[in-house]
A and B are shown apart, each in its own frame.
Chain A
Amino acid sequence: GAVVSQHPSRVICKSGTSVKIECRSLDFQATTMFWYRQFPKQSLMLMATSNEGSKATYEQGVEKDKFLINHASLTLSTLTVTSAHPEDSSFYICSAKATDGSGANVLTFGAGSRLTVL
């Protein structure tokens, strides 16, 4: 089946630094990828939709200058958390749309990246 690879799985950084998270679709092309954030014991909240070759679409309340998204190829999207602060500490998960055996568009998730900002 479709696999989405996400890296790094864990990252610890100092406040004020920037962190880049990569999301790759393996064995399939993804013109669209999605970035979610999940705080402890909460559900996934969509942050932005990453579109290959064009600007990302951000959800309401998500700062586009703080969470930079680049989708330069059909298999890679990156999320950069700029000037990270402790409140940005969270579990960031990317996903890409693949097709299951019935033809339904199913989101396949990466393993997630746990960011801790000191």
Chain B
Amino acid sequence: GQNIDQPTEMTATEGAIVQINCTYQTSGFNGLFWYQQHAGEAPTFLSYNVLDGLEEKGRFSSFLSRSKGYSYLLLKELQMKDSASYLCAVSPSSNTGKLIFGQGTTLQVKP
């Protein structure tokens, strides 16, 4: 079956660094995505990993280890506006383009 696990909730302080982990077990693997979703809004794309290693995009970085079925999203210099849900999603196939989503991690940034 398909299984993607993330912590349900996390809390961090403004200006700090937070790491959101994601583990996955899927029938195939064609890349892992991180999306940000504010309450009542559509998800927005943050990052994509298909090879092992770290991808950095400004304050956000994402890491992938395919052998371990593991990824994390690292958020630096946290801002209040970073309070949102962060969704880990796996593309199991290159043919369909569909994504399988984890339950999402709700991050609350406190002053």
Contact = CB atoms under 8 A, between A and B. Distances in A.
A34 B97 contact: yes
Interface stretch (B12-20, B63-71, B76-84, B100-108): B100-108
- The size class of the interface chain B forms with chain A is 20 to 34
B44 interface: yes
B97 A44 contact: no
A107 B33 contact: yes
A107 B99 CA distance: 8
Nearest to B8: A41
24 contacts: A6-B42, A34-B97, A36-B101, A42-B103, A43-B87, A43-B101, A43-B104, A44-B43, A44-B87, A46-B98, A49-B96, A49-B98, A93-B43, A100-B45, A104-B31, A104-B48, A104-B50, A105-B97, A107-B45, A108-B45, A109-B43, A109-B44, A111-B42, A114-B40
